[in-house]
Amino acid sequence: MALGEEWFTEPCEQHGSAFSLKAKKKLHEEQTAYQKIEIFETTQYGNLMTIDGFVMLTDRDNFLYHEMMSHPALYTHPAPNNVLVIGGGDCGTLKEVLKHPEVKLAQQVEIDERVTRLSEIYFPSLCESNNDPRAELHFVDGIKWVKDAAAGHYDVIIVDSTDPIGPAEGLFNEAFYRECHRALGEQGILVQQSESPLYHIKLIHAMREAMQRAGFAQTLTLDFPQPVYPSGWWSATMAGKSGTLTGFRENDAAQKPFATRYYSSARHKASTVEIPLLAEEQD
């Protein structure tokens, strides 16, 4: 991370690239019990939040991520009444989940409460559904929360985590996926952010294999643009306990009673086509 000459830069050393945003000023900085959070005002992307020097979100393009982390999974499940969001402290994914009228309970479990409290200040539009009577905010360890959950309690589990380092490292392994499998109902769906299909293909394969070993019948990786993340191309990987992940409630998605900026039934259908790159042999 560097802030020099009014630019915030996040280098991706392993892949010989970097991403920069021109910053007007730093709005906030603090070290929590878990991580360092910084917030900047940029010239073109609105407010920017970083954690430990890595870009988390901006005002301008967060909708791409939040819509694709939520709507494909919810429209694939036949009746997503109970939804769990692990992580997601900025509350953008929770906001998208609560757009679905069939959702009766949406619990967000974020280990670092400061992420949410700062989002309420600097990204208020993402937090406008926090007081929805169907929403619950819990600031505890998501791994333990899933382990303590009753079997079959959830319809959809969304893992909206940071990269697989630090507090999020334990969310990317077979043991955690087994607990998610147990906590999901018979038609349950797990979806997790799975990094860049260009830079992190080995991680995506490892995640899918671990999900399958944990008992999930099928996996599917969806891709979407995300300008502020490494390579500008991101993904979410779904795992289903039964049935197919390529089929979804297409008519419901086409007639959804809420607005989106990127997600649509047509984009959903297109995203179910496997990324050819994932079929390539890996070193």
Domains and CATH numbers, the chain: 2-57 (2.30.140.10), 62-275 (3.40.50.150)
**Is 171 strand, coil or helix?**
helix
The answer to whether 132 is a known catalytic residue is no
Flag whether pLDDT at 165 surpasses 80: no
Q: Which of 90, 112, 155, 160 is catalytic?
A: 160
Average pLDDT on 97-102 reads 98
Element (DSSP H or E) covering residue 228: none
Terminus-to-terminus CA distance in the chain, angstroms? 29
- Return the pLDDT at 1: 42
Flag whether pLDDT at 176 surpasses 70: yes
- Chain-centroid distance, C-alpha 151: 23
Contact 189, 159 (CB under 8 A): no
* Distance between CA atoms of residues 65 and 62, nearest Å: 6
Tens digit of each residue's pLDDT (9 = 90 or more) over 189-223: 999 999 999 999 999 999 999 999 999 999 999 99
On the 0-12 / 13-18 / 19+ scale of CB atoms within 10 A, 145 is middle
Residue 4 vs residue 201, higher pLDDT: 201
Contact 33, 114 (CB under 8 A): no
Q: What share of the chain is helix, strand, coil (3-state, %, to 5)?
A: 35, 30, 35
Tens digit of each residue's pLDDT (9 = 90 or more) over 240-258: 999 789 999 999 999 999 9
Q: What is the pTM of this model?
A: 0.94
* Distance between CA atoms of residues 55 and 163, nearest Å: 10
Could you tell me the two tokens for 76?
């694939």
Contact 43, 8 (CB under 8 A): no
Flag whether pLDDT at 4 surpasses 60: no
- Secondary structure string (H, E, C) spanning 112-162: CHHHHHHHHHHCHHHHCCCCCCCEEEECCCHHHHHHHCCCCCEEEEEEECC
Query: How confident is residue 66, by pLDDT bands cut at 50, 70 and 90?
Result: very high
Flag whether pLDDT at 272 surpasses 50: yes
Residues with Cβ within 8 Å of residue 144, at least 6 apart in sequence = none
- Return the pLDDT at 101: 98
* Distance between CA atoms of residues 252 and 272, nearest Å: 17
Mean pLDDT computed over every residue of the chain:
93
Tens digit of each residue's pLDDT (9 = 90 or more) over 40-54: 999 999 999 999 999
- Return the pLDDT at 167: 52
